[in-house]
Structure 1
Amino acid sequence: MTDTPPDRLSNDPRSPFHDPAVLERGIGIRFNGAEKTNVEEYCISEGWVRLPVGKSLDRRGNPMTMKHKGQVEAYYLTAASDAE
């Protein structure tokens, strides 16, 4: 594994950008300089994150999300040697 997180990652298992190994290792997100712990999906190259809107759910029971644009920085919470 490398020390650079993927450009795009999603928590939703149905998404093509879902990677359980990366999520298990732990990803931290800094959005516009503030730590975010409730990010559902992010894309560094396009500069956006999807955040849940309150506690509302869609008809399938998934959280309603809203896309916010800005500066996105992703980092691993654990070192590569600790994850093995």
Structure 2
Amino acid sequence: MNEPMPDRLAVNPKSPFHNADLLARGVGIRFNGKERVDVEEYCVSEGWVRVAAGRARDRHGNPMTIKLKGEVVAYLQESPAPRAAAVGEETT
């Protein structure tokens, strides 16, 4: 259950560090003790994450990012429990 996470992972499909299968399973990032959901790329060994800098875009339409340094912990998120049917919903 405790799989080793890659040292470096990126959301951008053009990056050599992109892993679509792993991202589809759900990757969580804890940066300096706080949960982050806006991480574009991370590197555990070098201790940094890249996050979008507001709404700014580069000339190719990709988000402009800034590098933040600190303690990075990457982990696989647990799969969510099956949702119970709400009141009034039909079940098939």
Task: Report the TM-score, using the length of structure 1 for normalisation.
Answer: 0.88
Displacement of 1:78 in angstroms is: 2.7
Q: Which residue of 1 aligns with 2:72?
A: 72
Instruction: Choose between structure 1 and 2 for higher RCO, CA contacts under 8 A separated by at least 6 residues.
Output: 1
Moved >4 Å (runs of 4+): none
Task: Report the TM-score, using the length of structure 2 for normalisation.
Answer: 0.81
Alpha-carbon distance in 2 for matches of 1:52, 1:75: 21
Alpha-carbon distance in 1 for matches of 2:58, 2:52: 11
Report the identity percentage. 57
| Runs of 5+ unmatched residues, structure 1 | 80-84
Q: Which residue of 2 aligns with 1:17?
A: 17
Q: Which residue of 1 aligns with 2:46?
A: 46
Larger radius of gyration: 2
Over the aligned positions, Cα root-mean-square deviation in angstroms equals 1.4
Alpha-carbon distance in 1 for matches of 2:14, 2:78: 25
2:39 corresponds to 1:33: no
Equivalenced residues, count: 79
